Amino acid sequence: MSQDKFKGRPKMPQRPVRERIRDFDEVPTGLEEWAAVEEARRCLQCKRPLCMRGCPVEIDIPAFIALIAEGKFDQAVQKMKEKNSLPAICGRVCPQEEQCERECVLGKKGEPIAVGYIERFIADYERDRGVRTPSRSSPNGKKIAVIGAGPAGLTCAGDLAKMGYGVTLFEAFHAPGGVLVYGIPEFRLPKSIVFGEVDYVRSLGVELELSTVIGRSVTVDDLAEEGFGAFFIGTGAGLPYFMELPGENMNGIYSANEFLTRSNLMKGYRFPEYDTPIKIGRRVAVIGGGNVAMDSARTAVRLGADEVCLVYRRTKNEMPARVEEVERAEEEGINCIILTNPVRFLGNQNGWVTGIECIEMELGEPDESGRRRPVPIEGSEYVIPIDTVVVAIGQGPNPLLLETMPDLTLNRRGYIETDPETGATSRRGMFAGGDIVTGAATGISAMGAGKQAARSIDRFFQDPDTFPQWR
């Protein structure tokens, strides 16, 4: 596309399908400088910017966009980082179309400003030139333990370190990043970017203790004895749900967590250079319709499957995955089998899965979530022959740590209850945020929760006596 022909919202340049499905490199390549500036100029600089209402961390969107329109990229970075310390990640994986961009006034009539693309541009601009470490307050001698190095924990740790707290970030895995590293594939979010952001957080003075499972290797009570005066729990929603159907434990049936962890974190796609194997059949079925399902299906394509299909019980309209990702998945040849639900798995004598018996569904009355409830059509059962299945129907809270704190108030579904104002839990001095509070949500909402908790923890230390007790 040449510069003069450019009109309206830019399209994200991306690698051609035939090339990209052969490797795990990033698919979208990012806006060029001129395109980002051009798009920034299209922003109306609203007095009452609606876009900001859609951003969970309240980034001053018109302000940073104005700086980009003027070519003041360094200042734009600063503006952005006032609210969002991980812009390279948000610019890539934020569901912008449901957040800032959905609210943008230009979207009411035409096309909303491509806030996410611009955000990614400015973050990449900074990364290419070396990230500057901001100044931080002098150490105040107070120790805080942050549990879980996902977006919630990283944000909380970074913010507290900037305020001068001594922060130790504990992570069960051997690598920091949470879902950003073990779940979201390289082709959507390069790991070097996540590790770049982690390095930034460490440069603020955060100590990182990897391979430490809180609740097993050490408990919260032990840490309190070691002198940690406050806690933030950001352990995510990492417990994979299965469908509890006959045959589900057969060989060749993976939870999405296992499939993605083997591929992403353990680099199974580079076996035998890396030791962790991953098995991929000729015909793969992924069950589900969210981001996790799309990531699994697109990973399966890249691992060399001949045919990959998604089995989803509602229609494409109800799919929780980002529209952009569904489009990319379809471009890559993934076939969506909608209004279909598995009833059991079929296998061979050696215990390997060979097919899924499915039943067709139709949409009935709306359920609690407002989506029309799928109802099975009796007698419509049929078999889809496959040799690998990835179950991506959702995740829940991992009870490993929570079990060790019986005094912590959980909700009916096992997530931690917190004060919506502060992120405080029922246990004094303990805060929580991210997926372990909300259930599987988004990276940016986890970051927002980490930020809120950092502010509250600071308040708690300033004046513990007046800090409101939650429940």
The residues that touch ligand FAD, with contacts defined as CB under 6 A, are 93-95, 147-153, 170-173, 178-180, 183-184, 213-215, 234-236, 238, 260, 291-292, 295, 322, 398, 400-401, 434-436, 440-444, 446
Residue 54 is encoded by which pair of tokens? 């859609």
Residue 109: Cβ within 10 Å count: 7
Distances, alpha carbon 242 to alpha carbons 174, 261, 288, 340, 361, in Å: 25, 16, 11, 17, 20
Backbone angles phi, psi at 393, to 5 degrees: -105, 10
Min separation Cβ 402 and another protein, Å:
12
- Sole binder of another protein in the list 8, 13, 399, 420 (CB under 8 A): 399
409, interface contact from another protein, ligand SF4, ligand FAD, none, CB < 5-8 Å by kind: none
Q: Which residue has 């050696």 as its token pair?
A: 350
Helix then strand then coil, in percent of the chain rounded to 5, is 35, 20, 45
Looking only at residues 44 through 63 of this chain, which bind ligand SF4 when binding is defined by CB under 6 A? 44-46, 49-51, 55, 57, 59, 61-62
Q: Which of 62, 55, 67 is nearest to 125 (CA)?
A: 67
User: For residue 357, how far is the Cα from the chain centroid?
Assistant: 31
Min separation Cβ 146 and another protein, Å:
17
- Sole binder of ligand SF4 in the list 76, 104, 278, 437 (CB under 6 A): 104
Please report whether residue 227 would count as binding another protein according to CB under 8 A.
no
295, interface contact from ligand FAD, another protein, ligand SF4, none, CB < 5-8 Å by kind: ligand FAD
Q: Are the C-beta atoms of 432 and 232 separated by less than 8 Å?
A: yes
Residue 187 carries which side chain, given as an amino acid letter? F
- Sole binder of ligand SF4 in the list 43, 89, 206, 319 (CB under 6 A): 43
In what helix (H) or strand (E) does residue 310 lie, and over which residues does it extend?
Answer: strand 307-311
Query: Which range of residues in 26-34, 80-88, 95-103, 346-354 is near another protein by CB under 8 A?
Result: 346-354
Min separation Cβ 240 and another protein, Å:
5
Please report whether residue 20 would count as binding another protein according to CB under 8 A.
no
310, interface contact from ligand SF4, another protein, ligand FAD, none, CB < 5-8 Å by kind: none
Q: Which is nearer to ligand FAD, 40 or 59 (CB)?
A: 59
Query: How many alpha carbons lie under 13 Å from residue 211 in its C-beta half-sphere?
Result: 1
d(CA 106, CA 61): 14
Please report whether residue 217 would count as binding another protein according to CB under 8 A.
yes
Min separation Cβ 84 and ligand FAD, Å:
13
Q: What is the DSSP string of 208-271?
A: EE-S--BTTTB-HHHHHHTTEEEEEE-----EE-----TTTTSBTEEEHHHHHIIIIIS-GGGT
d(CA 367, CA 370): 5
Q: Which is nearer to another protein, 113 or 256 (CB)?
A: 256
Q: Which residues bind another protein (CB under 8 A)?
A: 172-174, 210-213, 216-218, 238-240, 242, 244, 248-252, 254-255, 257-258, 261-262, 266-267, 271-277, 279, 350-352, 398-400
Q: Which residues bind ligand SF4 (CB under 6 A)?
A: 43-46, 49-51, 55, 57, 59, 61-62, 84, 90, 94, 96, 99-100, 104-106, 113, 115-116, 119, 444
